[in-house]
Amino acid sequence: MRTVADHLAAVLDAARPVPALDAVLADAAGCVLAEDVVAGHDVPLFAVAACDGYAVRTADVGLPGPGPAPEVVLPVVEDVQVVAPEPLRLVPGAAALVAAGAPVPAGADAVVPLDRTDRGRARVVLRGGAEPGDHVRPAGADVPVGSTVLTAGTRLGARHLSVAAAVGRSRLRVHPRPRVVVLTVGDELVEPGRAAGPGRRPDANGHALVAAARDAGASAVRVGPVPDERGGLREVIADQLVRADLVLITGGLSPGQWDTVTDVLAPLGTVRFDHVAMTPGDRQGFGTVQVADEATDLVHPGGLGAGGVGVPIFALPGHPVSAMVSYEVFVRPALRAMGGHTGVYRPSVRAAVARPLLSPAGLRHFVPARLTGSPADGYLVDPVGDPSKVSLSQLAAANALMVVGEDTTRVRAGDSLACLVLES
């Protein structure tokens, strides 16, 4: 029996960040940056007006003072469009109409906003004076040339794409989203919505695990349900390996005569099956496989997986609750690590337990539970239903997994336990 900690360590050891590549901005969103981004030029390139108004020399309009607002009249010599065909120069004793964002003509050192003018087009009345720099955003005000605007490791959200675009980048070097293939195995599985005859049941894991992988920042495709037949399963896995950074299989794990997945995976690589000291989800398959090139029968360089360690492959138990808990505990951290994320674990909080419960000795017990409260007031956690009989209904109604340690067999009301906060 392997501990949860040992199994997780083995998983994370094999889950290397997917090698970085250049992605267009649209594809880079949500990925982790794999380079520092340094501004190659000032943003803005030239001094620009911070608002609509008249660009002036402060010497011509006077300084703002405590007395009545001085009023000057200047001829309007220019009408500066945002896109100026060439740099303009303001002659002394004149004003130029400028739009917000338009370059301030050389010679001008301030902008008087429209609402302190009579908005004149040939000549303009300007009130209140101006100090040098008023309503002017100098070159580099947003981003000075040479500054590092984004650092490697940043998960690219909207504001990061905004600054990358502003410094003129159309592509960024990122860890791409890991490509996950979700494969459900079992003669008994039918497509949800199809009639489930005797001994048949809908595939509850396929869509759920695809959604879970996407929520972790991966891209995912669903394959199956695939029958419990060795030849066919071997072929499907070989086909999928060429496009996968990680393969996620559920079902087909029985140690009796039905252990299709065990038989198929054994010769492919280092996949091993362990009883892990946890409940639900005690039987876990994990390892890495190399992708062979069909033509040469050699290992394909593109199929070595991230860091040349092979493609991680998980064989999770088939029961949907076991599968989902196993995903949360082992697969999700692996996917986050492969995406280059620094935080690989879900947020976890400590909460006071609402009801006493018994927990099996020697096993880490993950209990579907409702977490309520707030950081300020503290959290309360209440198992959904009977914690000794884990069911899909409980998982669906839960918003957290309460974690009862291996050495704890009796939890009292009010005890404080760690809880994994599931997405809502």
Q: Does 76 sit near its own copies (CB under 8 A)?
A: no
Answer for which of 192, 302, 307, 356 binds its own copies (CB under 8 A) is 192
Residue 244 DSSP SS3: coil
| Token representation of residue 312 | 């991680």
Q: Looking at residues 143 to 172 of the shown chain, list those that interact with its own copies (rule: CB under 8 A).
A: 143-144, 147, 149-150, 155-171
| Token representation of residue 36 | 């520092």
Q: Looking at residues 33 to 72 of the shown chain, list those that interact with its own copies (rule: CB under 8 A).
A: 43-46, 52
Least CB distance from residue 134 to its own copies, whole Å? Answer: 13
- Nearer to its own copies among residue 397 and residue 413 (C-beta): 397
Query: Binding marks (x or -) toward its own copies, 289..328, rule CB under 8 A?
Result: -----------------------------xxxx--x--x-
Q: Looking at residues 220 to 279 of the shown chain, list those that interact with its own copies (rule: CB under 8 A).
A: 222, 228, 254-258
For residues 371 and 422, give the distance between their C-alpha atoms in angstroms, rounded to a whole number. Answer: 10
Least CB distance from residue 226 to its own copies, whole Å? Answer: 14
Least CB distance from residue 310 to its own copies, whole Å? Answer: 26
Determine which helix (DSSP H) or strand (DSSP E) holds 24, and give its type and residue range.
strand 21-24
Vertex 175 angle, CA 172 and 179, to 5°: 125
Least CB distance from residue 292 to its own copies, whole Å? Answer: 31
- Nearer to its own copies among residue 400 and residue 411 (C-beta): 400
Q: Does 82 sit near its own copies (CB under 8 A)?
A: yes
Determine which helix (DSSP H) or strand (DSSP E) holds 11, and give its type and residue range.
helix 4-14
Count of residues interacting with its own copies (CB under 8 A): 100
Answer for which of 21, 141, 304, 309 binds its own copies (CB under 8 A) is 141
Q: Does 370 sit near its own copies (CB under 8 A)?
A: no
DSSP codes, 169-189: -SEEEEEPPPEEEEEEE-TTE
Question: Contact at 8 Å (CB) between 403 and 419?
Answer: yes
Question: Contact at 8 Å (CB) between 339 and 32?
Answer: yes
Residue 304 DSSP SS3: coil
Answer for which of 235, 396, 413, 416 binds its own copies (CB under 8 A) is 396
Question: Contact at 8 Å (CB) between 31 and 175?
Answer: yes
